[in-house]
A and B are shown apart, each in its own frame.
Chain A
């Protein structure tokens, strides 16, 4: 919460300062508003290339060497989030989603290699990135990173542009295509439902085998590394997926099989928000770039305008034809 609050407060001050500065320099009130918006970039870097998790960041650790594929987490998730069951495939009997969709925030998917006997499960839900691309792109802040690190969605700010779906590298946010009042469906770490009441998320609470566990990110990361060091051959690439992926996520994976095969994309360690905003945040800082460009344009346009005007009058005198703009 602290980061969001600081930004918001900075915003209000900037609207005052930037607004007056801009209205003196630029034409039109709209320009002044733009100044205010862009100048909200705070002095600390908003999107470091490698974000550091705050000390109170929570996380989930999923270890598919333990998972039995019982899917107990799925109805628990549906119940906690009051989601309908996806019974399309089973003819109205079972909850059988084919993947994350408008009725499913959490799913356990099996993976089997037809040639070898390789077999594994993977639980999919929002990864709650340390620097989420969806939050960076969301235009009115409908998606926000809450305290503890949960990424939540606010229906009253969302315009349904679906930019979050384009931005998310894990393809998590889902849009209700069949609803006239469509919502973005994504795992919110049970933020409103359970985290606020000091309860752990429904899926980790329901897991009978301890496959997916809840805790502080730093603790879980240490625990995951310990598991790797005790049985290094058990884990693919001997690493924790999510420690550095896309700048780090708050859902951590340990897997016995290739991570890409079970549907976790291969990503760099740089935060996507950093990649997308590193140049524009400099250009638009305090709206300096646009104001400078406007100044240069203004100089040349005024000069050329004066030339144009004198020529126009001369032309009009000579030919009698009025000029057009």
Chain B
């Protein structure tokens, strides 16, 4: 943990603060009307998913034999796990490249990443036609080692259930430590050093494995061969998918941090956001460089600037990445919250477009059939996203996730339960009386 120096207030904006540790949201009601709406959408989506489990795929989706992959795969998995690559992008920067400032925002990235992966996996579970045969994943002799699909279907659940969960574990242990009874603390005091000992080893896996499966998501599409538009079909698809994941990871983490800080009226830390923006701009340039050299290498540059439908799509996608890449080179823009918010949103959109187009719009098999997701398909997709959002709001309310000032943290956590009870019974540990703080998890 490093203390960040307050950033100089150059333009009279309210940037100045420093994030030092995760602080739970302790004020305001948890169940807002908006959250109730999200819960409603999530419930509707999950109810449909339950019905889908007892019904064939046909009546539920607009998918057909030509477009065998619908939005559950192309959007909820292919696109949204790119946004969920925040833990990968930030973790690599923080742990491998020693950008120490970023440790404090890791928790936000971890929780959002975990939820994107978890909801994506739920979506996959209801998308496959014969899920009961998935037990073969436990039998390595059945694995077809050259299949990119195998790599994804083994790696993604493994990453989400083991490595990401382990990275998030301190968050949960910490809450148990501060809100639990004496016995829990005694146990945790023994467990915590073990977690610390294992941590640097386990996170190696947490960064190698997503590198593998995020690139394999692009590798999947290599087999589609000539069915994909030549602007997108390329041997470097795995690399581009990986860079796009890093791009979306950085962009979405900035966006998310700014949005939640606005929502809960927390102070922003310009230093950390600017660092993230700097990295984002760098990744955008790497993406564009790889994309451009690939097009030149495959002699598709003329197709790219033909200004027909696919070329325009390509130009929009690249433009959405180029604008933030250029804009965020300027320190002034990096340190202006509004501009940073807009630019990270654009980068997010561009990265998502790149991840979405190859499997949907640029996927053009010879047989003339159209695909548009059916209503239940859309509701289920929205339901998974709503489920993730609800979980995120609950987690930031009950766990110390969002970055804040260390002094603002008085170890108060909302007790689980109904909000009225929460207001009545005050939390266990007021800090004001100068209780010496014990070592955390």
Contact = CB atoms under 8 A, between A and B. Distances in A.
A316 B439 contact: yes
Interface of A: 8, 11-12, 15, 26-28, 30-31, 33-34, 36-41, 46-47, 99-102, 133, 136-141, 155-163, 165-167, 169, 171, 173-182, 246, 263, 265-268, 272-273, 275-281, 284, 290, 293-294, 297-298, 300-302, 304-305, 307-308, 311-312, 315-316, 319-325
* Chain A CB within 10 Å, residue with most, of B141, B204, B238: B204
Contacts of A8: 141
B429 interface: no
Contact of B136 (A31, A157, A167, A278): A157
Contacts of A308: 1, 100, 103
Interface stretch (B42-50, B194-202, B271-279, B310-318): B194-202
* Chain B CB within 10 Å, residue with most, of A100, A101, A158: A158
A290 B212 contact: yes
Contacts of A101: 65
Given A139-B147, A140-B143, A322 B367 contact: no
A28 B205 CA distance: 9
A263 B149 CA distance: 28
10 contacts: A11-B140, A11-B141, A15-B140, A34-B154, A138-B144, A167-B223, A267-B225, A276-B223, A280-B216, A301-B200
B440 A322 contact: yes
Contact of A297 (B68, B131, B208): B208
B366 A171 contact: yes
A268 B226 CA distance: 9
Interface residues of B, number: 91
Interface in B142-198: 142-150, 153-155, 158, 162, 170, 174, 195-196, 198
Contact of B440 (A47, A284, A323): A323
A298 B200 CA distance: 8
B436 interface: yes
Given A101-B65, A280-B146, A304-B96, 6 more contacts: A37-B154, A155-B130, A171-B366, A177-B65, A305-B200, A307-B98
Contacts of A273: 146, 223
A324 B1 contact: yes
Nearest to A267: B226
A304 B199 CA distance: 12
Contacts of A278: 235
Given A133-B225, A157-B142, A158-B133, A180 B54 contact: yes
Nearest to A32: B140
Nearest to B98: A304
Contacts of A297: 96, 204, 207-208
A305 B235 contact: no
Contact of B145 (A27, A38, A177): A38
Interface in B287-318: none
Contact of B131 (A38, A47, A160): A160
B57 interface: yes
B145 A137 contact: no
Nearest to A278: B235
Contacts of B142: 140-141, 157
B406 interface: yes
A260 to B, nearest CB: 8
A298 B201 contact: yes
Contact of B367 (A171, A277, A301): A171
Nearest to A30: B158
B208 A28 contact: no
Given A27-B205, A180-B56, A302 B200 contact: yes
Given A30-B158, A138-B144, A177 B439 contact: no
A300 B96 contact: yes
B393 interface: no
Interface of B: 1-3, 20-22, 54-59, 63-66, 68-69, 95-98, 100, 103, 107, 127-131, 133-134, 136-137, 140-150, 153-155, 158, 162, 170, 174, 195-196, 198-205, 207-208, 211-212, 216, 219-227, 235, 238, 363, 365-367, 400, 406, 409, 436-441
A37 B147 CA distance: 11
B219 A276 contact: yes
A36 B150 CA distance: 13
A320 B204 CA distance: 30
A176 to B, nearest CB: 8
B96 A136 contact: no
B95 A322 contact: no
B200 A137 contact: no
Given A137-B148, A160-B130, A280-B219, A166 B201 contact: no
A118 B400 CA distance: 73
A141 B140 CA distance: 12
B208 A325 contact: no
Given A276-B222, A325-B199, A157 B133 contact: yes
A184 to B, nearest CB: 9
B22 to A, nearest CB: 6
Contacts of A267: 225-226
A41 B146 contact: yes
Q: Enumerate the 4 nearest inter-chain pairs by beta-carbon distance, A residue then B residue, closest first.
A: A160-B129, A322-B440, A177-B58, A165-B68
Given A275-B225, A324-B22, A182 B57 contact: yes
B149 A161 contact: yes
Nearest to A134: B223
* Chain B CB within 10 Å, residue with most, of A30, A163, A294, A319: A163
* Chain B CB within 10 Å, residue with most, of A136, A159, A298: A159
Contact of B146 (A47, A155, A160, A323): A47
B225 A169 contact: yes
Contacts of A156: 133
A298 B204 contact: yes
Nearest to A296: B96
Contacts of A293: 208, 211
A320 B437 contact: yes
A263 B146 contact: no
Given A30-B162, A178-B56, A312-B1, A324 B440 contact: yes
B66 A171 contact: yes
